[in-house]
Structure 1
Amino acid sequence: MLNYHKKTKVISLSICAAVVLSACATSGDGSEDIDDSYISSQQGPELQLPPGTTEIEVRDGYRVPEGTVITRREAEGKAMSLEPPQLLLITGDGVWVDTERTEPTVWVRSDAQQLMTYIDRFMDSQKLSYNQSGQNTIRTDWITDSDGTDLAERLGSYYVEGQRHKFELAIVDQKSNEVALQANHLASQQYREGQWIDISTSQRVAKQFLNYFIGYYDSERTREARKRILQQAKVDFELGYDDQGALALVTEREFLAVWEQMTRVLTALNLSITDRDRSEKVYYFNVKEPDSGFWSIFFDDDEAAKVALEPGDYQVRLSELYAGGVSLTFYDAEGEKLDDSTITRIYPEFVAEFKRGKE
């Protein structure tokens, strides 16, 4: 039989309550004010059971229901990584993530041979030792965090020194104009007590390595595109209409070819660039007030705008046309489109400067 020991429980509860209250008390300066009045506390009233209740009876201990399975295991929290998740950072055009494959994979708008050339160049740029396993697979030698490169230092777990890794980049699928590139973390070790110890590989580290290649691939493609633009710097414009029907300067050239020339053209026309926003595809420029000082009657103003625009702030927006090519549409400081007569008036100077190209 299990009986309540009422008096003992009342005393225990009183002591616990007093300890809690004394622990929470603080003095005016923020320090603890220990209250020892619990030592002389008096016994409170006895615990009263509800009417009709006398004793609690438990027979044969507490029974576990039939069929219950009890397992001993560590808390899941101890096995969870405290590191943030690693995403594939897709940049540029023609690269997208394949979310259906188990290992980190991206689709690249390219052919297998061309992409393998970029992978070779990436390995060489990072001074990585590697070997080619099959026609479309490259495997690295050990990449150690003491190799002295940004890539080597940032791979693996954060704030853990003495790591090294092996990776594989493989083309695992192909379409008519796209290939699927997959990264695998083949091996990982950590230097402990004078020797290299095997540790678990992870998709997170594989994504880190693949991100480095994607960044290299995008930057190389952009650099090559700019080089081609400089080789063909001249851009032919003519009067036409943008996709909203406003009079504009239009060309069949691609956006990057025009954007890369805008700084040179505006500067050559003595239009002061005040800002530019690549994401909005807009350049902001200013037409200065003409110099009306005394010395202006003796000297030409070399800084005067070479287009017939009133002094003030303007903007020119680049838009990629639905039919292909690019349009240049001009606006005033309030964002209102310039009238047709103004566009017709400034058109010859812009066309001539774009045709001149980079000398």
Structure 2
Amino acid sequence: MLAYAIAHRAHSRLSAVQIFPASTLAPTEIRVEMAASSINPIDRLLVKGYGSALVNPRGHFPRILGRDGVGTIMAIGSAVRHLHVGQRVVLTVSPRRDGTYAEQVTIPSSCACAISDALASDAAAVIGYAGSTAVQALWAAYLDPAGSQGRRLMIHGASGGLGTIAVQIAARWGAQVTAVCSRRNHAWLKELGASQTMDYEEALGLRVLPADSVVNFATPDSKGSDRRADPLLAALQRTDGRRAYATVITPTLGLVTQHGVVPGLLRAGVDLARRKAGALLNNVRYSQVLFREDPKALATVVDFFSTPGAQSVVQRALLAAALPAEFSDNAELRTPGKTLVHLFPRSPAPR
């Protein structure tokens, strides 16, 4: 089958490769024919070897990229009961696994969620990885369907893939959302449900945030600031009430890349403990959110986007053949929302 992968350790680029899939399925696995996927920042890092000692410790190559997508189940393992052949599914996989930029994907059934006709394939293809991570971050910040009404939430990095999903879900749950993003995206974020919008520099200059919780999806540093400092957390610590700060910006992969797995993880653990302790002294729950394969989180985001009123976050689309150029060194694009990737379109059958 055709796939887009890092061919071997020496290649810091994405290539089209031919791979022979396993002929058998484990009892809990499914095989999916892929239709579309998306681009997630983690894969841009993996192409450069960032964090490879942790996510690919055995040096398995070729390494297929792509963290999510939509497709149709071709086969199921003997122990799979909640899915069946012919179903359309959204799927998302950890960076520790081969990904979804392939004609066929074999994954644990827990990494897939069935979707109905109410959810279009293009909209579904981009929500698996970003959506699961966004939901886990909201949970870490005291946000859920039962406990969000009236809570004031600031989402930093609100116009990216994670942010555009989190804004919609949090607003639907009843939170008052302040979306921090570039000014050119303010109108769109209000359409997605933000109560108010704010520029990055404006937010980072506040002494007290208009929020009970912060979810951070972008590095919160202003010009000339120390990237190790966190002005948003410092400002949140001065507010009253039950407070939480959840961030997906963590030093773990960087420290592992620089120092190796064990020393890097130790340094990351010390950093996390220091930040949690400092926040706890100010009655703030501090969490670093790393993606994990969570069927409940995936089902939550699928259910949301299957309901009326949910807006697709696709802002750009490309064909699979464009992936190598997309992942090249000179293609660091910063676009709002998500980029959809159409995978290996089939030619119509002859009549």
TM-score normalised by structure 1 residue count: 0.22
Query: Which one scores higher on RCO, CA 8 angstroms, separation ≥ 6?
Result: 2
TM-score normalised by structure 2 residue count: 0.22
